Amino acid sequence: MATLTPAPAVLTDTTPAKHPGGPARPRTVRVWRGVVLLIAALYFLVPMATAFVFTVNIPNVGFTLDAYTRIFTVEGFVSSLSLSLGLAAATIVLVLLLLLPAMLAVRLAAPRLKPVLEVLCTLPMVVPPISFTAGISSLLPWAQDVLAPTPFYQTIITIQDQRFPLILVLAYVVLALPFAYRSLDSALTAIDVRTLVEAARNCGASWPRVMLSVIVPNIRSGLAGASFLTLALVLGEYTVARLLGYVPFPVWIVMISGSQAQVSVAVSVFSLLLTWALLLAVSSAGVRKRSAS
């Protein structure tokens, strides 16, 4: 009978062995994370606080919000801000329309060209903005002379219109390519593009339908990131616009700083908050769309 009695199960301790330094490591990580966040907060908030104090504390007058109440009445504020927002919207649309189809075509039809496309898109990062602008400044007069007897002469004049300079949009597209490419490349790498496209095509979907109903919904976070970075670049770019003679919002802020110092700093604080609000809206839109999908 003793041989028929089942042997008691041997209980094994499945609890993971405690590492001598285990409990201390997460606490150390949290402490260092807090230190890094505190340093980053001081790095960003101290200059903003100093600028705000400069705008509201006038010697012999005391605390006043006069600099902020005069922002919207200063000549050139609305026109320069509207121009920068319009340039940013046009740049975002043009970057996405050019880059996304090109990246999909390379992934589906010519994967060996992906390194070439990557080099072309990241090349603007190694070109100084002054050299880039000098090239544009040299090219425009030459193009006017060459295209003068052709129907394209009016085109070269139109892209230099002071009311909405398309030449700035083209320049910003080149400058935004490295950031937009990285964001879209990460989003496309996270999905199986070939399988999704082949499945949609086998179901009878046209190429525009594949783009709008299959690809775009699956890379919303990448599209939001590319738009986020392009918007930040355009709203903060100064060198190209200044050297080409246009007055978007960053150039206008520098122009009024010589005559109205406190108003210019107040406008800088306002523009910084506006830029953060726009970037937060773009980022939140991408997160909400991804959560909904």
- Which of 20-34, 237-251, 271-285 shows the lowest mean pLDDT across its residues? 20-34
* pLDDT for 93 beyond 70: yes
Residue 104's contacts (CB-CB under 8 Å, 6 or more residues apart) are 188, 193, 197, 211, 215
Distance CA 71, CA 23 (A): 54
Q: Do 256 and 74 meet the contact criterion of CB atoms below 8 Å apart?
A: yes
Q: Residue with structure tokens 């807090």?
A: 34
Q: Greater confidence, 102 or 264?
A: 102
The H or E element containing residue 63 is strand 62-63
| Domain definitions of the chain by residue range | 77-246
Which of 3.30.465.10, 1.10.3720.10, 3.40.50.300, 2.60.120.650 would CATH assign to domain 77-246? Answer: 1.10.3720.10
Give me the count of residues in the chain: 293
Proportion of the chain above pLDDT 70, given as a percent: 88
Average pLDDT on 242-254 reads: 89
When the pLDDT of each residue in the chain is averaged and rounded to a whole number, the result is: 83
Model confidence at 12, pLDDT cuts 50, 70, 90, reads very low
Q: Compute the radius of gyration of the chain from its Cα atoms.
A: 28
From 153, 163, 130, select the one nearest 244 (Cα to Cα).
130
In this structure, what token pair is assigned to residue 267?
A: 């406008």
